[in-house]
Amino acid sequence: MLVLTLLAGVTNPQSGYREHAATVQAENLISSNSAQNMDDNKPDQTIETPAQPQQEKPQAIQTAQAKSTQAKAVTASAKRVSPTPAPSRSQTSGTTAPAVSTSSITTSSKALAIVSTAKQYLGVRYVWGGTTPSGFDCSGFTKYVFAKNGITLPRISRDQYNVGKSVAFNNLQPADLVFFSMDGDRITDHVGIYIGNGQFIQASSSNGVMISSMSSYWKSRYLGAKRVL
């Protein structure tokens, strides 16, 4: 286009000058428009700062704060509870006083009463089949003494041996019935009343009612003992 314009200017100088001026003006206008277009094509340099979202407490923090508040409330409630009273001396003691058994006292008293009753008839003669203070045999004597204290026994020694609770020799107590086998055949044929200290009271066929020691003679014939209280 410039070439054509120049050629035209050569042909018509005046016309060419005007056209050259117009061309220059047009080029300047084009250049200005291009610059403006280039400016228009530039991206907007203004950067909008996004609004900061309102910060919220994380759920974990809220939960921790709730637990802390609850723990403080529990602690305050515990402090208001009245303290547990201190245990009494009897509760802290490692040993407890044994209870007194009324039945044991009663049994001991009755046992002493039986022994006392039996001793009242010391010296009464022996009578075979006798059951009264006018004369006793061994089982008649024990039956009578126990009956005076409210306890009924069978009539003969073999039957008396079948009542009550068996007692070991080392555990004999006053008022226990002691039985003997005089013939060594392990059959009961004699009975007496233990009075303590290794002694018993009996109606002996040779001496009547007497106190004897559980010596080797009687111990060798000893069969067993029964407690009927």
CATH of the domain spanning 107-227? 3.90.1720.10
Q: What is the mean pLDDT of each run of 10 residues along the chain (229 residues)?
A: 40 46 49 48 46 50 61 55 50 45 62 98 98 98 98 98 97 98 92 98 97 94 97
- What pLDDT is attached to residue 32? 52
d(CA 25, CA 8): 17
- What pLDDT is attached to residue 216? 87
- What pLDDT is attached to residue 4? 39
Q: Supply the pTM of this predicted model.
A: 0.56
What does 59-103 look like in DSSP terms, one character per residue?
Answer: HHHHHHHHHHHHHHHHHHHHHHSPPPPPPPHHHH-S--PPPP-HH
- What pLDDT is attached to residue 98? 44
d(CA 149, CA 106): 13
Burial bucket for residue 190 (CB in 10 Å: 0-12, 13-18, 19+): buried
- What pLDDT is attached to residue 108? 87
d(CA 97, CA 229): 26
Residue 67 CA: distances (Å) to CA of 56, 63, 139: 19, 6, 88
Residue 33 CA: distances (Å) to CA of 18, 20, 30, 43, 101: 22, 19, 5, 17, 129
Q: What are phi and psi of 225, to 5 degrees?
A: -140, 150
d(CA 66, CA 128): 101
d(CA 79, CA 73): 10
- Strand segments, DSSP code E, in 47-206 are 131-132, 135-136, 165-167, 177-180, 190-196, 199-204
> Residue 114: CB partners within 8 Å, gap ≥ 6?
145, 146, 149, 174, 175, 193
Residue with tokens 């009753």: 117
- For the chain, how many residues are written? 229
